[in-house]
Structures are given as C-alpha cells and as structure tokens.
Amino acid sequence: MASSGNSKGGLLTAGGILSIIGGALEIVGGGIMVALFMSTVIRSALLPLLPRLLFPGVEFEIHFIPTGFDIAGMSLLVLGVIAIVGGISALRRKTFGLSLAGAICALPAWILGIMAVIFVSLSKREFRAEK
C-alpha cells in the first residue's frame, strides 16, 4: 500500500468537507423551521379575517407553532453559516480556531459534526506548518 506521507492532510480535508455538509444540512433544517413558523404567523394574521368576510358565523381554529420553534430555526441557521465558514477555513488551512469552531457548530448534524471535530482537532499541526 503506497502512501504519499500526507495522511493528516486527508483528515483535515475530510473534516472541512464534513463541516460544510453539516452546515448545509443545518441551514436547510433551520430554513424549514423558520418558514413553518412564518407561514403560521401569516395564517394567524389573515385567517381571522376570512370567516367574517366570506362565511359569517363560521369559526376557524388556528394552530400555532411555538416561538421556540422559530428561535431554534434561527439558531440552526447561524450555526450552519459558522460551520460552512469554518469548513472553508479548514480546506484552506487558514485558522485553526475558526476551523474548530466551524466543526463544533456542525455538531447538531450529529455524526457529521462529531467526525468533523475529531478530524480537525487531529490535524492541528497542519495549521502551524503553513505559517
């Protein structure tokens, strides 16, 4: 089995890619959560007007998605952006702190985030070598 002697570089690249994928998944999930909350807010603002105008005497039940759902969605969006920026930093081998922070922010993506943290932290020496 031939090796180029650069096995650590593969770990850092894998960590950066996993961080980017985890961040993208977080952005998609957070965007869906925020969209669901916003659609509920819009429906709750417009729906009470419809029965009075179109169907006098008919009552509609409005279901609310809790505000915590929106807060969680916004948090996922922010964590996803940080994870993507940190993953790009890991691929460029620029800043270890930012790369590790991005991998940590990818943790809500479970196994991808855990692997990203492990791979980036094992490759810390590569950041010092390029200064």
pLDDT given for residue 49 in this prediction: 63
**pTM recorded for the entire structure:** 0.80
In the chain, where are the structural domains located?
Answer: 22-55+66-125
**pLDDT, position 60:** 59
| Percentage of the chain modeled with pLDDT above 70 | 73
**Neighbouring C-beta atoms of residue 119, cutoff 10 Å:** 23
Q: What is the dihedral of CA 93, 124, 84, 29, to 10 degrees?
A: 160
Q: Which residue from 44, 121, 37 is spatially nearest to 86, judged by alpha carbons?
A: 121
Which pLDDT does position 2 carry in this prediction?
A: 45
Token pair belonging to 20: 């980017």
pLDDT for res 1: 39
Q: Low-confidence residues of the chain, pLDDT below 50?
A: 1-3
